[in-house]
Structures are given as C-alpha cells and as structure tokens.
Amino acid sequence: MSVAILEWSLLAAQVMLGLGMLATAYRMIAGPRAQDRILALDALYVVALLLLITLGIRNNSQVYFELAMLMGLLGFVGTVALAKFLMRGEVIE
Amino acid sequence: MRRLLPHPILACFLLVLWLVLQQSAGFGHILLGSIIAIAVSAAATAVIPDQVIVKRPYKLLVLFAVAGLDVIRSNLAVMSVLFHPRPKPTAGFIEMELTLTNSFALAILACILTATPGSAWLEYDRERSTVLIHVFDVVDEDAWVATVKRRYETLLLEIFE
Amino acid sequence: MIADLPLWLSILVSAFVVLGALLTMAGCFGLVRLKSFYLRIHGPTMGTSMGGGLILLASAIYFTVTRERLVVHELIIFLFVSLTTPVTLMLLARATLFRDRVEGQIDVPRRPEKLAPKD
C-alpha cells in the first residue's frame, strides 16, 4: 500500500518536473534576448537537479545525490560566467 | 588568535559542512575538516578584509524564521497568480531608502529579498543608499516598503550595528 | 526499488514531493507565460526556495528512515542552491538593466545621477 502511494506520487512529481523542464527548454530556445535564455538555463539545471533527487528516492539509492550536488556546483558557475559576460562582454576582468 | 582564525563563524560553518558531507563525526574527519576550515577561512581574508561582527547571534535565528515564513507565504501567493488563466500581476519597480549600511547586512537582505519569489533586488546605490527592487504583485507601495523595513531592517540593524 | 515505509510517513513524503514538484512546475510555466524579463525573474526562485526545499526534505526523511541513521546531506544542496540563485539572479538583473539602458528602453528606471562630491 505505502509503496504504491510513494510510487504513484513520485511518478506524478517526475511528470510535473519533466513538464517544467520542457517549459524552460522552450524559453531557452525561443527567448527573445540573451538574458531570457540564461535565466531559463538557470531554472533548467535546478529542475534537473530536483528530478535527480526524485530518481534517487525511486531507485532507493544515494548515488544520485552526488550527481545532483555536482550539477548544482557546475550550473552555478556556468550561469554566473554567462551573466558576467552579458554585463561587460568579458568573463574575467 | 586573530591572525590564526580571522573569520571564526566561517570556519565553524565550513567544519560543519565538511562533517555533514562526510556523514560521520569520527576523529579523522574532525581533524581534516578543522585543517581545511582554518586554511580556507584564513585564505578568505583576501576577499573579506574586515572582521564580521555579529552583535546578537540569537537574533539571526529569529531573522531566518521570519524569512522562512515569508518565503512560504509568497510562494503560495505567486503560485496562485501563476495558475490564474490570465496572469496579470501588478508588478512594478520600487525605489527604497535604507538606513542599513553594513555590507554583510546588505548582502543578507539582498539574498532574502531575491530568494522570496515575489521580489527581486536589482541595484544598490551606495552614494545615496537607495535600492531598486522589482516586486511581482504590489498593491500598496508604501505599505510594502514599511513591511520590509519593519520585518527585516530593524532586525538586521540590531544584529550588525 | 522503493523501500516499505510506515503508511503515514509514505503519505508525508509523497505530499512533500508532489507539492514541491507542483511549485517548481508553476515557476517554470511562469517563465513561459509571463511577458517581460523582470516578471520572469520571479519564476525560478519558486523552484529553488520552497519547491526544492520540500523535495529535498522528502528525500532526507526517506533516507533517514530507510537507512536507519540521520541523513541530512540534502541540506547542503538546499543551502547551496538557495544561496547561489539570488547571486545569479542579481547579476542577471543588473546585466539586463545595463543593456536596457544602453538600448534606451523607456519602461526601465533611469540610472541615478551621480551626487556632487561633498566637501
């Protein structure tokens, strides 16, 4: 019983997160200006991280945690570098 | 002591972070974590030259509790706007004057305001100490400013100044 | 596969996961449906503040119960994401303000004039 509840709610959550990722991907492709695309990229990696966490619960494995943390670290550095580039046209000044 | 441990709060935070990441509190982990924490906090003096003085540490807990409640409330408010068939948020830029000048307090305020979904900190003008904020759903501008001042600024002034 | 939890705990974990995913999805849809950049900037913070917090909390509860010891390292991800997203958003917003002002958009606040030096 409790396994079924967890399984179905995890499925629902994963579908919702997947739809969210599609929405951000749309904004990333269609976004009228560069800052819209970077904002969408920022949202995209966070949602992907959360999707990995739900996968970790579903597969009952803690390996996904390390992946999620790595994703958070690299995503932050990437979007900050891109935002910095928008401001001045140089990544390191 | 000041030379060895210029940022004690940062060092403690790093040590706790290390132990949580290793998922154990064995002697070896504490030793290695302390070495890393001291080295990193000493290296941080290149970035943070002044000492951070927290006058009333327990008030920080009050601050985070207030911020957490605000985050929950504004999340639900923004969600109800977004699930409306035709979302028409009455958004606007607000220019707000701050009495706060300590840069750590300002950084905390900026992070709290941006992390709550309804508001985003855009630009701080150090010369006249005003800040430009974009608010998602603003009903009464003066009331909004008064709320932020009452909830956060007085607390931050008590903590840092 | 998913381990067997007590019924009330599995309901709690399920509720947290579903509510968190719902909030995150609302933020992402806001990214598509809202009209201007300054409005869209409020979308992703829903995923990083409460949406992500609830999902990570559910994960922490689940692994604490199934592994029978305290598992709180989800807290690190939450701290990291909720501390770094404001930084990214502020940088992006300032870059956008700068670019809008350079292009001469009218609906953007002007850059404040420099004060005369005091002496």
Show me where the domains of chain C are located.
Answer: 7-103
Helix, coil or strand: residue B99: coil
**What confidence score (pLDDT) does residue C22 get?**
92
**What confidence score (pLDDT) does residue A92 get?**
60
Please give, rounded to a whole number of angstroms, the shortest distance from the CA of A29 to a CA of chain C.
Answer: 11
Query: Which residue stretches of chain B are H helix?
Result: 8-22, 27-43, 57-82, 103-115, 141-148, 154-160
Is residue C118 predicted with pLDDT exceeding 70? no
| Contact (CB<8Å) C45/B114 | yes
Is residue C119 predicted with pLDDT exceeding 60? no
| Contact (CB<8Å) B87/C30 | yes
Rounded CA separation B161/B155 (Å): 10
Chain B contacts of C86, Cβ < 8 Å? 110-111, 114-115, 121
Residues listed for chain B: 161
| Contact (CB<8Å) A57/C94 | no
**What confidence score (pLDDT) does residue C116 get?**
59
Sort C99 into a burial class: Cβ within 10 Å, 0-12 / 13-18 / 19+: middle
Q: Which of residues 14-53 of B touch C (CB under 8 A)?
A: 17, 20-21, 23
**What confidence score (pLDDT) does residue C113 get?**
65
Sort C69 into a burial class: Cβ within 10 Å, 0-12 / 13-18 / 19+: exposed
Helix, coil or strand: residue C117: coil
Higher pLDDT, B142 or B5: B142
| Contact (CB<8Å) C21/A59 | no
Which amino acid is it at C88?
T
Chain B contacts of C97, Cβ < 8 Å? 122-123, 132
Mutation target to probe the C interface, by most C beta carbons within 10 A, among A3, A11, A42, A93 is: A42
In which band, very low, low, confident or very high, does the pLDDT at B96 lie, cut at 50, 70 and 90?
Answer: confident
Please state the rounded mean pLDDT for residues B60-85.
87
**What confidence score (pLDDT) does residue A86 get?**
84
Please state the rounded mean pLDDT for residues C81-99.
88
pLDDT tens digits for C30-72?
A: 888 888 888 888 888 888 888 899 999 999 999 888 888 888 8
Give the angle subtended at the CA of B106 by the CAs of B64 and B157, to the nearest 5°. 70
Please state the rounded mean pLDDT for residues A42-68.
90
Q: Which residue of C has its CA nearest to A33?
A: C37
Please state the rounded mean pLDDT for residues A20-41.
90
Is residue B74 predicted with pLDDT exceeding 70? yes
* B8 part of contact set with chain C, CB < 8 Å: no
Please state the rounded mean pLDDT for residues A59-85.
89
CB contact at 8 A, A43 and C47: yes
Q: Which of C37, B133, C53 is nearest to A38 (CA)?
A: C37
Rounded CA separation C93/B134 (Å): 10
Please give, rounded to a whole number of angstroms, the shortest distance from the CA of C88 to a CA of chain A.
Answer: 6
| Contact (CB<8Å) C84/A1 | no
In which band, very low, low, confident or very high, does the pLDDT at C24 lie, cut at 50, 70 and 90?
Answer: very high
Please state the rounded mean pLDDT for residues A63-79.
90
Asked if the ipTM is above 0.90, the reply is no
Q: What is the side-by-side order of every strand in the sheet holding B119-125?
A: B92-97, B130-135, B119-125
Which amino acid is it at B48?
I
| Contact (CB<8Å) C76/B95 | no
Rounded CA separation C60/A15 (Å): 21
The least confident of A11-20, A79-88, B24-33, B42-51 is B42-51
Rounded CA separation B127/B106 (Å): 14
pLDDT over 70 percentage in chain C: 92
Higher pLDDT, A34 or C106: A34
Chain A contacts of C43, Cβ < 8 Å? 43
What tokens appear for B139 in the block?
């009903």
Is residue A5 predicted with pLDDT exceeding 70? yes
Chain C contacts of B134, Cβ < 8 Å? 38, 41, 93
CB contact at 8 A, C86 and B111: yes
Please state the rounded mean pLDDT for residues B5-17.
86
Alpha-carbon torsion (B9, B12, B13, B14), positive or negative: positive
Q: Which residue of A has its CA nearest to C36?
A: A36
Rounded CA separation B87/B91 (Å): 11
Helix, coil or strand: residue B131: strand
Rounded CA separation C50/C22 (Å): 10
CB contact at 8 A, B62 and B28: no
Subunits in contact with chain A (3 or more CB pairs closer than 8 Å): C
Pick from A2, A53, A65: which is nearest to C10 by CB? A2
CB contact at 8 A, B71 and C82: no
